[in-house]
Amino acid sequence: MDNPAFTRIQAQIDAAPVVLFMKGNPMFPQCGFSARVVQILKHSGVQFSSVNVLEDPEIREGIKEFSDWPTIPQLYIKGEFVGGCDIVTEMFQAGELQALLAEKGITQDAAA
Amino acid sequence: MAMPASEIEALIKTAFPDAQITIEDLAGDNDHFAATIVSEAFRGLPRIRQHQLVYAALKGNMGGALHALALQTSAPE
């Protein structure tokens, strides 16, 4: 952990059960891939916090190394890296995302 | 900043010689691709690891010269 961004990223991941590192914010995503993951999370009725990497170059670069993942968005559930847009979409379509959320004890409110 | 599909395919083929690769140019702009890769190398690995192997094969181009590459990876049936 020699990268100063890693400490901040870890704190952001620990701050909420579901954390999405994205471009823009859930109200105004600034990239189609980020928008898709927001949509999936909203559809699942999951409360999540988000980090706008466009506002923070240190996080934007740091998160790629932190997760060993070259692209944004990146989804973390209970401190664990789940994946980017493709994986989250595939998991959602297969019902695996919902199963993972349930397994981690995260409330999914279908009415949301 | 763009990367032709042939170059993407060549990099993947080098890392996974047995791979069956399908690459689709989503927008016709040499910049937004979708790739389906089937290789024994993926067997038994979680999806994150499978995609990480592909990103490694692309040697740092993902997120750089290569803006968008939707990935679907699996082992042969």
Q: Are B73 and B37 in contact (CB under 8 A)?
A: yes
Give domain limits for chain A: 4-103
Would an 8 Å CB–CB cutoff place B51 in contact with chain A?
A: yes
pLDDT tens column, B9-67: 999 999 999 999 999 988 877 778 999 999 999 999 999 999 999 999 998 888 788 87
Q: How many of the other CB atoms lie within 10 Å of CB of A93?
A: 10
* Distance separating alpha carbons of residues B39 and B68, to the nearest angstrom: 21
* Nearest residue to A88 via CA among A29, A42, A30: A42
Q: Indicate the residue of B52, B60, B71 with minimum beta-carbon distance to A86.
A: B71
Maximum distance among all alpha carbons in chain A?
44
Domain extent at residue B52: 5-74
ipTM above 0.85, yes or no: no
Q: How many of the other CB atoms lie within 10 Å of CB of B16?
A: 20
- Grade residue A112 by pLDDT with cuts at 50, 70 and 90: very low
- Residue B22: CATH number of its domain: 3.30.300.90
Q: Indicate the residue of A64, A86, A90 with minimum beta-carbon distance to B63.
A: A64
pTM value is: 0.89
The domain total for chain B is 1
Q: Which residue of B has its CA nearest to A91?
A: B47
CATH number of A4-103: 3.40.30.10
State whether A90 and B62 contact (CB < 8 Å): no
Q: Quick check: bond before A73 cis, omega within 30?
A: yes
